[in-house]
Amino acid sequence: MKEGRIAVRVGEAIVLRTWPFHEADLLVSLFTREFGKVKGIARHAMRSRRRFGGALEPMTHVKATWAERPKQELVRLDAFEIMSSPMTAKIDFVRLAGLELVAEVLDELPDGAVEDAVFRLALAVTGAMEVGRVWMPVTYFCLWMTRLMGWMPELGRCVVCGEDLRGRTVWYSGVADGVTCADDRRPGSVGLGAEAVAEALRMFKGTVQDLGAEEWPKERGVALRRFAVETLERHLEKRLVSARALAR
């Protein structure tokens, strides 16, 4: 819908980050289902809770109304209606860091990245994160993000010699694409064992709800999370602060 040269849009969005902007305004980063990343100004949001209320908490799922002007990078955020909020459930450091990881990855995606599957993935893993049950959703999210963005290498074949690596340790580098056999591994490569590769394949076939029924202590999937996080960091060209906080 348009008001003159202003395009007014309404759609589902996930709140990623907020920053103080001018006096009582907030700068808000959103990931929307239809338009990808959107950044806008919530006027007087620090003074009045009438339009936004608690909807500005990170990873809150909202129905957002915003207005766009041609050639302006920032939109005008008019109203948010909360559809679900992770902050209504019990929170601790690990769960908060997990939620921040999802928000950080979405906020760092390339401009123009619009993918309904990414939006649905973020909602699914956010809903699955509970105190004491964070590590599986985090691992699942990082793996699936690499796949949805086209960054996941073929894990069953050496990218150099073409050797079949199924059921074997594969080697990956933080500075090059693909995995290799032991003979062709690059300097500084890290091994990903056959068990971790099998776990990744299970995650690509299963849902976060089904896998959530299993016990996932922090020690489970450590190598797999490291692989997925380092793959994301290489393609995003940024160290993920929240992932480092989780690993501590």
Q: Are strands 75-84 and 36-42 parallel, antiparallel or unpaired?
A: parallel
Question: Hey, what are 27's tokens?
Answer: 């700068």
Q: Structural domain of residue 25, as residue ranges?
A: 2-86
Tell me phi and psi for residue 147, to 5 degrees.
Answer: -75, -45
pLDDT over threshold 50, residue 145: yes
Question: How confident is the model over 68-117, as pLDDT tens digits?
Answer: 988 888 999 998 999 999 999 999 999 999 999 999 999 999 877 778 99
Task: Report yes or no: 42 and 56 within 8 Å, Cβ to Cβ.
Answer: yes
Give the torsion sign (CA, 138, 141, 145, 146): positive
Would the pTM of this model clear 0.85, i.e. be above it?
yes
Mean pLDDT confidence for 2-22 = 86
**Residue 181: alpha-carbon gap to chain centroid:** 30
pLDDT over threshold 90, residue 231: yes
**At which of 64, 86, 108 does a domain end?**
86
Average pLDDT score over the chain: 92
Question: Hey, what are 183's tokens?
Answer: 């003979």
Residue 32: count other Cβ atoms within 10 Å of its Cβ.
18
Residue count (the chain): 248
pLDDT over threshold 80, residue 47: no
Confidence of residue 66 (pLDDT cuts 50, 70, 90): very high
Mean pLDDT confidence for 4-22 = 90
**At which of 40, 70, 86 does a domain end?**
86
- The sheet carrying 179-180 orders its strands as 179-180, 170-172, 190-192
| CATH number of the domain that residue 73 is part of | 2.40.50.140
What is the pLDDT, as a whole number, of residue 54?
A: 79
Confidence of residue 50 (pLDDT cuts 50, 70, 90): low
pLDDT over threshold 80, residue 2: no
Closest CA to 137 of 190, 174, 194, 86: 86
Question: What would the 3-class secondary structure string for 83-101 be?
Answer: EECHHHCCCCHHHHHHHHH
What is the pLDDT, as a whole number, of residue 46?
A: 75
Mean pLDDT confidence for 1-15 = 81
Pair (111, 222) in one structural domain = yes
Pair (29, 101) in one structural domain = no
Pair (156, 241) in one structural domain = yes
Pair (221, 124) in one structural domain = yes
Structural domains of the chain, count = 2
pLDDT over threshold 80, residue 142: yes
Pair (49, 113) in one structural domain = no
